[in-house]
Amino acid sequence: MNKPEGKYAWTATVGEKGQIVIPKQARELFDIKPGDTLLLLGDLQRGIAIPQKGMLSEMFAAAFEEREESK
């Protein structure tokens, strides 16, 4: 089975404290370093997503722009 280009899948085990380890290949691919803050998004129907680094500031900017425009 050929995987689509640019698509990846990994597994992670949840520890007793609810922590997961992001696989090394994923950390390298997405430039995730110790101390980085990641955003977790959850949807009961679709599951959990971890957007790329930098998306947090983009999401906040978009949210605040919408509020400013609606005033």
pLDDT at 16: 96
pLDDT at 52: 82
pLDDT at 14: 93
Residue 29 is assigned to a structural domain of this protein: yes
Residue 48 is assigned to a structural domain of this protein: yes
Q: How many CB atoms lie within 10 A of CB 49?
A: 10
Residue 39 is assigned to a structural domain of this protein: yes
CA pair distance 32, 28, nearest whole angstrom: 7
The two tokens of residue 13 are 């085990």
Please state the pTM of the whole predicted model.
Answer: 0.67
Query: What range defines the domain where residue 41 resides?
Result: 24-70
- For 26-70, how does the pLDDT look when each residue is reduced to its tens digit (9 = 90+)? 999 999 999 988 888 899 999 998 888 777 778 778 878 765 555
CA pair distance 28, 7, nearest whole angstrom: 15
**Nearest Cα to 37, choosing from 16, 54, 13, 61?**
54
Categorize the per-residue pLDDT at 71 as very low, low, confident or very high, splitting at 50, 70 and 90: low
pLDDT at 62: 81
